[in-house]
Structure 1
Amino acid sequence: TAVELRNRLNALTGLRLATTLVFDHPTPEELAERLHSLLATDVAAETQPTQPNGNQESTGATLSADTVEALFWTGHDTGRIEESTALVSAASAFRPSFSDPTAVSAPSFVRIARGDTGPALTCLPTVAAVSSVYQYSRFAAALDGLRDVWYLPAPGFVDGEHLPADVDTITRLFGEAVLRHTDGAPFALAGHSAGGWFAYAVTSRLEQLGVPPQAVVAMDAYLPDEGMAPVATALTSEIFDRVTEFVDVDYARLVAMGGYFRIFAGWRPPDLTTPALFLRARDGEGPPPVWGEPHTVREVDG
């Protein structure tokens, strides 16, 4: 219930939030913005209009990076992933950001498979805190010897990197990087999980420029506002724990994850003319993802 969510946010953040919090801020975006202001303020206490039961909202000094990281892992360890993700999403608003793709270094492509069959495939990253080339290691191994497969990392997951200010910014950055890298050669784009958001957004951008990929593939991708359940499952799964052996999940990575969830809130896949393939696991747990745009659907074991 709304009150239970408010109580869980109280416990996770240390704030004292009004019982009407969720009703006053009914969407994830509005709730995140409210948490932004409460976590950022240096005022010792902030009082809302008094409710009949006398509830108030208040906070102390700005939370440090160490505190945010510790609170996230508290939520992770106690199964409160939605609150943890809301926390790092709020914190992401205070990370340095960029709105001009030319103001940051171009992302570097990583080759993860080789082969002569065209077109070459560029895999776009997920936005989970463990986002890395390891996400596609088994996928690329199956294609090695058949075609070139490349991985393109997202900015913001390394300490000191800026986060994109909005979806348009990251779409332009990735689109321009892909065009430079392919240099006129045929290519296709793919994205697993939230990587599907990038794949569709970049494909739409390239269609507008008149240089679309030959195909776009989304694999087990959920719409952003419907993606918390699978993300929560992933964050508490053995897969997540296994990947953390290779990826140091620190404050920068946690807040980058929150930042991408924040800017993609409310986003929907654009209509495309590029041939689109949607792959989903036949035996996956929970309901299958719903994408909503015209595409060819194939179910695979996994």
Structure 2
Amino acid sequence: MTLLYRENAPRTFAKPVFTGQNRSGSKNRHPPMHTGFGTALAPIPQTKKAAARIALVDLKDGTRTILSECFKQFGIESVVMSANAAERLKKEKFEACVVKLGPGAQAVMEAVRTSSSNSRLVLYGLGGSAQEAMRYSKYGINAIFQEPVERSAALKLVRATNMLVLHEFRRYVRIPVVTEVQVQGAKKFTATTLEVSSGGMSIKSAEEVGPGQAVEVSFALLTLPRIWVRANVTWRKPKHSFGVRFDNTDDRRRKLKEWIDAYLEN
């Protein structure tokens, strides 16, 4: 087992939150969200929980089976990839990736580290010599599975590194949730959220805001009392919605991170 730790600091969508009536038109057993400012959401319905995902690229059947079972023990879902791996890793969000060190590995690693969403995922190598491992060192391999892969050794490595994967998942996970949010910038207005993460949120509003604009947002989520957090607008869809990224220096965002961690563990 080889560990090559590198400091890595979240397609990841969690179970949705609904309020009001269900799809059949009947009333939910929980009351709908009030429209008055400062109210919380209805309790979250029981739906399939999102999971961290790891890409297994061009692995033999036996190796793939062992690694899939090891990662599954820690709640990590394996996704098998082959010829189109590099293309998928540029477009889809993953929290980790296992790639065999050999021909083709560089293209996959390059796709991972240049992807806007996967640049910080946990990267596992498989096999290869010490020289090959050094050759790929610029891609920041976190750990290496030795070949032939043995279940006990693989499980030991996954146990030692799974928290890196889960941390990446929680850093990026977006929770679909609808609640009132108050935005205060050049002017003050009230809107509704679309998705919330520990790093920011998307907001439905026709108000005019621009990328880079500094704002302060206020919102409440179920068991999370109303908080204020400084943020900056990062994108905008005219007359529809915009996204904000929370200020990393604002300690008040920790309460949101704790709420998301508890939400994912329930």
The two structures share one fold, judged by TM-score above 0.5:
no
TM-score by length of 2: 0.30
**Structure with greater proportional helix content:** 1
